[in-house]
Amino acid sequence: MKDDELTNLNVGVFFDAPGWNHPDVFALHYFQRLIGDYRADKHTGFHLNAPSRQYNTMHSILGGLPDVTYQRCVYYAYSDTGLFGNYLIGNEVFATQMAYVSQMVLSDYASSVGQVEVFRARAKVFNELLSQESSAKQSREIAQQVFYWGRRVPRSEFARRISALDAGHLTRVATRHFWDKDISVVVWGPTHLLDAVAHYNRSWKRSTLGGYAQPYYEG
C-alpha cells in the first residue's frame, strides 16, 4: 500500500509454517532465535559494535544498511498452520534490501547453518527460559500449550527438545519450509523503489533460493 506521508517503509515477508501439532514446531522456535531481532541503536556503531563482527547472519547484513532501523522475527503457530517471517522498518532507499533479505537468509540456511549461530541461539533460548517473565506472557504461553497440546510443557522439556536440534537437523527443516517456497509480502509506505518488483514475478520466486537471490537483493 503506497503512502507517501509515512517517513519509513514497513515490510513484512512471511512463509507458511508448521502449526503447534507439527513435529517441526520446536525447530521453528529455534529459527526465531537464530534470526533474532535487530535494532540499529543496539547492533551498530552507536555502541561500537561493528556489523562484520556480529555472529548472527541477519544482524551482520542489516548492520550494513544504516537506514534500516528495526527488524523483528515472528512465529505465529496455530492448530494446523502458522506464519513465520520478519517485519522490517527503514528508509525507502533500502526498500529492495528489506524486501529480499528475510527470505534470502532463511532459505540459505537450507545449505548450511553456522555452528556459532546454533550455539548462540540455543544459549538465547536457555536464558529466556531462566529469565523472569511477566505474568501476562506466561499466562499466554500456558494457555496456548494447554489449548493445542492439552498440557503444560515444563521449561526442562522445552530445553531438552531444543538441545536435541543440531545444525544438520535445522538445515533439513529449512529445506522443508523455506527453500523454494511461496511467500506472502506486505509493504506499506513510500514504495517507489519497489514498483518494478511489486508483482509476483521471477525475482520474488527466486528470492527463496538462498544465494540466487543476491542479484535481486542488491537491486
Confidence tier at 142 by pLDDT (50, 70, 90): confident
Q: Do the domain assignments include residue 4?
A: no
In SS3 terms, 32-82 reads as HHHHCCEEHHHHCHHHCCCHHHCCCHHHHHHCCCCCEEEEEEEEEECCCCE
Residue 200 DSSP symbol: S
* CATH code at position 46: 3.30.830.10
Question: Residue 154: is its pLDDT beyond 90?
Answer: no
pLDDT digits (tens, 9 = 90+) for 78-118: 988 999 999 999 999 998 899 999 999 999 999 999 899 99
CA distance 38 to 42: 8
Average pLDDT over every residue of 161-186: 93
Q: Do the domain assignments include residue 170?
A: yes
Q: Which has more pLDDT, 172 or 153?
A: 172
**What's the pLDDT score for residue 150?**
86
Q: Do the domain assignments include residue 3?
A: no
Q: How many domains does the chain have?
A: 1
* Structural domain range at position 208: 9-217
Average pLDDT over every residue of 187-194: 84
Q: Do the domain assignments include residue 21?
A: yes
**What's the pLDDT score for residue 46?**
58
List of residues 6+ apart from 209 with CB closer than 8 A: 107, 179, 180
pLDDT digits (tens, 9 = 90+) for 20-77: 989 999 999 999 999 999 988 877 765 556 777 777 889 888 988 888 999 999 999 9
Q: Do the domain assignments include residue 1?
A: no
Q: Do the domain assignments include residue 124?
A: yes
**What's the pLDDT score for residue 177?**
96
Q: Do the domain assignments include residue 30?
A: yes
- What's the chain's average pLDDT? 86
Question: Residue 133: is its pLDDT beyond 70?
Answer: no
Question: Residue 168: is its pLDDT beyond 90?
Answer: yes
Q: Are 77 and 28 in contact, with CB atoms under 8 Å apart? A: yes
Q: Are 178 and 86 in contact, with CB atoms under 8 Å apart? A: no
Neighbours of 41 (CB within 10 A): 9
